Amino acid sequence: AALGHYKGVEIDTLFVTALLTILGFSVHDTIVVFDRIRENLLKYSKESFEQVVDRSVNQTMVRSISTSFTVLLVLLAVFFFGGATIKYFVLTLILGVIFGTYSSIFVASPLLVLWQRRAAVAKR
């Protein structure tokens, strides 16, 4: 809303499309991390849940960052060499990829650990 108010940018279908694309990208990235956690829970059953989550995040971090970096390279090329009509669409995608990757790695997994701890306390 602030960007639209100060810069005269319109929230149109391209903007909504960018948001939905980023949502899908972020959810997919989070699923990859959580799937690795699921696999490692079976593989390393003697370790604590926190250790398994940490191991899983470390195993998937390079993949997540590499994928996001590749997408960012393409988006930056489109941003600088593409037309003016898609500038804000691509800018939204760039910001979304950055924040989505961050949240998939550094927010989703700690939240999972927090929820698991609360569930363990509630069972007692």
DSSP 1-43: -HHHHHH-----HHHHHHHHHHHHHHHHHHHHHHHHHHHHHHH
> Around Cβ 94, how many Cβ atoms within 10 Å?
18
pLDDT of residue 11: 78
Model pLDDT for residues 43-79, shown as the tens digit of each residue? 999 999 999 999 999 999 999 999 999 999 999 999 9
pLDDT of residue 3: 62
Q: How many whole angstroms separate alpha carbon 83 and alpha carbon 78?
A: 8
Q: How many whole angstroms separate alpha carbon 69 and alpha carbon 4?
A: 28
The listed CATH number (1.10.1040.10, 3.40.50.460, 1.20.1640.10, 1.10.10.10) that belongs to domain 2-119:
1.20.1640.10
The domain spans of the chain are 2-119
